[in-house]
Amino acid sequence: MKISFLWLMLFWLNLSGVNPQCCVQPKIQDAFSVDNLHESENQMKQLTCITCTCNGDPMAHYVVELVSINYPTYCRQCFSIYNLTGIIKGSPPNYCLYYVPGVIPISYRRGSVFDMTVRCTVENTATTPMPTTPPTPNPIPVPVPVPVIVTTSTPGNIPSFLTAEGRIQVRVIPNKPPVFNPLAASITKNALGVNDGGIVYTVPVIDPEGDPINFTMSVDPRNTNFYIDGSGNIRAVKTLRSECSAAVYTFSIYATDNLHDPVGPHVATVRLSGTSTAPTVRGLNQEFFYKETLRVPTFIVKWSASSDTKNTDPHFNPISAQTRFLIVASTLRTSQEMDFETFPRINITFIFSNDNCQSKYYILIRIGDENDKPVLGPAEQSLKVNEGQVFAQPNYIITDEDFNDRHTFSFFRDRTGGYNIDPFTGAISHPTGVIIDKIRQMEVSFQVVVTDEKGLAESNKILVKLLIQDINNHAPEFIVKSFTRTATACDLPKQLDIKLEYFDSDSSQNGNAEISTIPVTSGPLNVTPDGTVYMTTNIKAGESYIVQAYAKDHGTNPGSLTSIVPVTITLIGKPCPTPAPTLAPIPTTAAPSSGGSGKSGTGESSGSTIINKQSSSNINTNNGGNSNSGASASASSTTTGDTTDSTASVVLGIILGLVLLAGILYLLYRFCLPKYFPDAHYRISNAFNSCSERCCPRKYNFTEPRAQDDFFKNDFKNKSYKNVNHGNTRPQPYQYPL
C-alpha cells in the first residue's frame, strides 16, 4: 500500500511538470529526536516534524512514513505521521508526528517510553552508480543522532529510489495527583455574614498538571446546610444565623483528578460566631449500675435544662427497653423489673432543642445479673396410664432467664405416695406396680416443682394427674367347674339342665368383663357360646361322655384372655326304664257232662287239645304275625265250647305277645346289636336322630362359627369318651405381663 502511494505521488509530480530531484545521498535532518507526552493526554497533539535533505540541501519532493513501532500494544494506534502542507508546486513537504488519543488513556505505569522508526523515500535520477563501499556505522548513544542509512545498488545498477531512516522517542511524563496545602485548617466564621449560598470556607488545593479536580466532603456533626462546589468552595445552603455557636463543624474534604485515587482528607474546623445558643442541661451524662432485682419503681435521675429549652426527646438503645422506664417531668424512674439477660446495658440519649439549636446528653445504665427463679408449666395436665408398671412422662415447659441453668425435678414437699420422679426428666413411675382390677379408673395427683442449679431457687408448683386405667390382666373363671348329669338310652336330644356361669377379676372397662364360652362339640354333647349345654344324639346305657369348655373375655387392652381351668361336663348313660311283660291267663273249657264216650268224647277231647295249641302258638310264634289269626280261626272252627270266652282270650294273648315282641326287639337293639354289629347300630342311630330332629326340633338356636377349629372334635371323634379329660389340649390363654 505504501509503495502504491509513493508511485502515485511520483506519477502526479511528473504530470504536474515538476521534475524529480536527482539525489545522491538523502538523510533525515535531526535523525534522532525526543518528545514528551503527559500521562492521560486526552487531546490530539503535534510532536516532532521530520525534514529530509540531500547533501545538506532541502529536497522539494520526498515521502516520510512510520516503518517500525516499539511500544505497548494498547497504544499502537496512538501515533501517526501527517503532511500538513497542501500539495502545491514548489512548496516543501511538512511531515510531523502526531499523538492521537485512543480508547485507553496513556499510562506511565503501562509504558513510559515509545520508540518509532521513520523512513524518508526519494526518487533517484542519477545516471552513474553509487560507490559500493557502504558508510561505516557509527553507533551514537542517546541523544546523539543515529547514522543515516542510505540504500545503494550493486555496481553497474542504478537504484530507482533512495531511502534514509531516523528515530523518534516519545517519553511519557507521569501525572501527579492534586495537592492540599496545608492539610488542615481551623477558622472562625461569623454566621451573620453568610447568607444563602455564601462561602464558608475555600479548600487550598492545586493540580500540578492543571487537571480538573473533583471534591467530596463529609460534615461532623452531620448537617445538610453545607455543600462544596467544583472550585473547592464550601457554601451554606441557607443563612448561618440559624446555626448554633455551640456546634463546631468539622469538614473532611477529598480531591481527585480522575487519574488517581482520591487524596486527603483536608480537615477544616469551622467555629461559627453570632448564631443561636443550644440548650444546656445539668444532671445528665452519668452512668448507673443496678442489680436486675431492682424494686419497682426506683428513682434513677433528675435533670434541669436552660430556660430556652422547648423540647426534650429521649432515645433508648435498645428501643424495647423504653417500656421499662417512665419519664415524669424532669425525672427518670423504673416502671418494670430489670432483666440482665435481655438488657444488660441500656443507653438513653436526650436531645434538648430550642427554635434553632439542639444539644445532646446521655444516661448509661448497667444491669447486674442475679439468679432468676425458674417457672414450670403448664399449670395442670392429665395423663392416662395402664395399671401394672405405671410410667408417665409429663410434658414440662421450663422458663428460666438464666442462660444454661440446669434443673432438677422433685415432688413438692416429698408427697410421693409411693411413687418416684426422675430428677432429670421428671418422669413419674411406681417401683412395684399398681393393680386396680375391679376399679375402672383411679386418679393419682402430684405437685411437681423444679430447682435450678445456680441459686437453688425452687419454681412454682404444678399439678400432674395420672389416670390409671384398668386393663385386661385377669383371665375369666367358671364359678362351677364340674357338672355331672345322667340320661337314659331312650331319651331324645335335649337341653341339659346346666347353665355355665363365670366371673372375672377385671372391671367392665373396654370389655374386660364381657365373657362368653368358646363353643365346643364332643360326641353327643354340645356347648354354645352362651353357656348352654345340649345332648344332640342318643346315648348308650353304661357309657360316660365328657366335654371340656373354656371361657374367654372380650377385653381390648391389651387383648382377649382365655380361662386357664376349663369346665368339665360329664354325661352318664343309663338303660331305658322298660316294664316286665305280663301274660293273660289261658282260658279253659270244661267237658260237657253228657255226650258219651264215643265220637262225641273224641270230639271234645280234640277241641280241648286245639285250644291249648293255640295258646302255645300265641306265645311262641309272635313273629309269625298272621299265623296267630289262622290258629285262632282254626281253633275257633274246631272249638266246641263257649265262643265268647274263647275270642276274648285270643285278643288278650295277641296284645301281650306284641308288647313282649317289642321289648325283645329293643333289648336286641340296645345290647346285642352294638356289640356284634357296631356299624349297623351307628346307621340306625343316625336314622333315629334324623327322625327325632324332624319330629322334635331342638329348642336352642346355636350356629357354630365358621373357620373355627373345634379343638375337642378331633380328640373325641370315633373314640370312647368314658372318663377322658382333654384339658391339656386347650388353647393357651393370653396373660398380660405385669
Q: What is the pLDDT of residue 589?
A: 44
How many Å separate Cα 512 from the centre of its chain?
40
Asked if residue 224 and residue 205 are part of one domain, the reply reads: yes
- For residues 345 and 366, the answer to whether their CB atoms sit within 8 Å is yes
Query: The sheet that has 532-535: what strands, in order across it?
Result: 494-499, 532-535, 525-527, 520-522
Q: Is residue 599 part of a domain?
A: no
Q: What is the pLDDT of residue 362?
A: 94
Q: How many distinct structural domains can be found in the chain?
A: 5
Asked if residue 569 and residue 430 are part of one domain, the reply reads: no
- Other beta carbons less than 10 A from residue 378's beta carbon: 12
The CATH number of whichever domain residue 399 belongs to comes to 2.60.40.60
DSSP 3-state of 314: strand
User: Of 246, 273, 300, at which residue does a domain stop?
Assistant: 273
| Cβ contacts of 382 within 8 Å, gap of 6 or more | 465, 466, 467
Asked if residue 505 and residue 562 are part of one domain, the reply reads: yes
| Cβ contacts of 56 within 8 Å, gap of 6 or more | none
Q: How far is CA 59 from CA 67, 82, 90, 93, in A?
A: 21, 18, 10, 9
Host domain of residue 37: 2-128+142-173
- For residues 712 and 521, the answer to whether their CB atoms sit within 8 Å is yes
Q: What is the pLDDT of residue 86?
A: 57
H or E stretch covering 8: helix 2-15
H or E stretch covering 383: strand 380-386
DSSP 3-state of 404: coil
DSSP 3-state of 122: strand
Nearest to 119 by CA among 199, 226, 3: 3
- Whole-angstrom Cα Rg for the chain: 71
Asked if residue 227 and residue 83 are part of one domain, the reply reads: no
Contacts by 639-647 with C-beta closer than 8 Å and gap 24+? Answer: 639/589, 639/607, 639/610, 639/611, 640/603, 640/604, 640/607, 641/589, 641/607, 641/611, 642/589, 645/587, 645/589, 646/587, 646/589, 646/611
Q: What is the pLDDT of residue 478?
A: 92
Asked if residue 556 and residue 620 are part of one domain, the reply reads: yes
Asked if residue 160 and residue 46 are part of one domain, the reply reads: yes
Query: The sheet that has 214-220: what strands, in order across it?
Result: 184-190, 263-273, 248-256, 214-220
Q: Is residue 646 part of a domain?
A: no
Give strand pairing partners of 721.
Answer: none
- For residues 439 and 507, the answer to whether their CB atoms sit within 8 Å is yes
Q: Is residue 226 part of a domain?
A: yes
Q: What is the pLDDT of residue 266?
A: 94
Asked if residue 27 and residue 161 are part of one domain, the reply reads: yes
Q: Is residue 477 part of a domain?
A: no
Q: What is the pLDDT of residue 92?
A: 67
Nearest to 642 by CA among 600, 594, 612, 608: 608
Asked if residue 620 and residue 512 are part of one domain, the reply reads: yes
Residue 605 exposure: Cα atoms within 13 Å on the Cβ side: 7
Q: Is residue 608 part of a domain?
A: no
Q: Is residue 603 part of a domain?
A: no
The C-alpha atoms of residue 281 and residue 302 are separated, in whole angstroms, by: 11
The C-alpha atoms of residue 420 and residue 427 are separated, in whole angstroms, by: 8
pTM over 0.75: no
Asked if residue 62 and residue 18 are part of one domain, the reply reads: yes
Q: What is the pLDDT of residue 586?
A: 47
Q: Give the pLDDT means over successive 10-residue stretches in the chain (738 positions).
A: 44 41 70 83 85 77 82 76 66 80 77 86 67 41 38 55 86 87 90 87 90 92 90 90 77 90 92 83 94 90 91 93 92 91 92 86 91 89 89 92 84 80 92 81 90 83 90 88 92 91 84 88 92 92 92 88 92 82 48 39 34 34 36 35 64 90 83 62 51 44 39 39 39 43
Question: pLDDT tens-digit profile of 431-484?
Answer: 888 888 777 788 889 999 999 887 778 889 999 999 988 888 888 999 999 999
Asked if residue 164 and residue 21 are part of one domain, the reply reads: yes
- For residues 450 and 425, the answer to whether their CB atoms sit within 8 Å is no
Asked if residue 549 and residue 464 are part of one domain, the reply reads: no
Handedness of CA 435, 440, 442, 443 (dihedral sign): positive
**Could you say which DSSP state residue 647 is in?**
H
Q: What is the pLDDT of residue 16?
A: 39
Q: What is the pLDDT of residue 393?
A: 94
Q: Is residue 604 part of a domain?
A: no
User: Of 273, 300, 317, at which residue does a domain stop?
Assistant: 273
Q: What is the pLDDT of residue 254?
A: 95
Q: What is the pLDDT of residue 24?
A: 63
- For residues 119 and 74, the answer to whether their CB atoms sit within 8 Å is no
User: Of 368, 397, 421, at which residue does a domain stop?
Assistant: 368
Backbone angles phi, psi at 99, to 5 degrees: -95, 125
Angle at the Cα of 531 from the Cα atoms of 687 and 518, rounded to 5 degrees:
90
- For residues 421 and 434, the answer to whether their CB atoms sit within 8 Å is no
Q: Is residue 12 part of a domain?
A: yes
| Cβ contacts of 388 within 8 Å, gap of 6 or more | 433, 434, 435, 471, 473, 736, 737, 738
Asked if residue 440 and residue 543 are part of one domain, the reply reads: no
DSSP H helices, 621-735, are 626-638, 643-667, 673-676, 678-695, 713-716
The C-alpha atoms of residue 18 and residue 535 are separated, in whole angstroms, by: 159
The C-alpha atoms of residue 274 and residue 484 are separated, in whole angstroms, by: 131
How many Å separate Cα 337 from the centre of its chain?
39
- For residues 394 and 380, the answer to whether their CB atoms sit within 8 Å is no
